[in-house]
Chains A and B, each alone.
Chain A
Amino acid sequence: KAGVTQTPRYLIKTRGQQVTLSCSPISGHRSVSWYQQTPGQGLQFLFEYFSETQRNKGNFPGRFSGRQFSNSRSEMNVSTLELGDSALYLCASSLGPGGGYTFGSGTRLTVV
């Protein structure tokens, strides 16, 4: 059974650019969440989607956005990149509310 797949694994972008990260959840999972992990702040919740609807959003600026498609695949977008956006971005999927989350290996974003 395939796990949560995140693409790309590594990304280098220039300050001011925008970036789109992709997440394919485990087959049958309808809930997808995104987290940002940095050495200073640890893992912080970005947003959560269930059946294409955003159910919750973390305390991040509007430059961070996401969406979920009908096949449960999800993307997150960061516009006007800042140096501080350099982080590991993790996607996690679940069957639904109350289920345990399975994380992908993440996308390592470096902003220069």
Chain B
Amino acid sequence: QKEVEQDPGPLSVPEGAIVSLNCTYSNSAFQYFMWYRQYSRKGPELLMYTYSSGNKEDGRFTAQVDKSSKYISLFIRDSQPSDSATYLCAFPTQGGSEKLVFGKGTKLTVNP
């Protein structure tokens, strides 16, 4: 079983749609949860960083964590063409190391 599973897409939605992006993980030691956005020819940029189960909201973005199911989601409301990018879930490992384990990313296109 892979440590992190993420549907690669691609996902294509019309402008204004609600987008749902998901990752499952198998490592119970993961305690922190991140979402990164990566535009073409750029490095990933941190969107959301959360620790606890439940929801965390930041503008049009909501990160949801269900530790019991080992499932995390990122919702984008009122999606814009500028949201077109690859979205990656990431999990810092334990032990004081900042090694991140990434999902393979979901490529999202928002059509005007």
Contacts and interface: CB of A to CB of B under 8 A. Distances in A.
Top 5 A-B residue pairs of the complex, sorted by shortest distance between their CB atoms: A103-B43, A42-B104, A43-B102, A56-B97, A45-B99
B43 A90 contact: yes
26 contacts: A31-B98, A33-B98, A33-B100, A42-B102, A42-B105, A43-B100, A43-B105, A44-B102, A45-B99, A45-B100, A45-B101, A55-B96, A55-B97, A55-B98, A56-B97, A58-B99, A90-B43, A90-B44, A92-B43, A97-B98, A98-B98, A101-B46, A102-B45, A102-B46, A104-B43, A105-B41
Interface residues of A toward B: which range? 20 to 34
Label chain A's interface by main secondary structure.
strand
A40 to B, nearest CB: 9
Contacts of B102: 35, 42-44
A94 interface: yes
Interface of A: 4, 31, 33, 35, 41-45, 48, 55-56, 58, 90, 92, 94, 97-106
Nearest to B101: A45
Given A42-B102, A42-B103, A103 B44 contact: yes
B91 to A, nearest CB: 11
Given A31-B98, A56-B99, A43 B41 contact: no
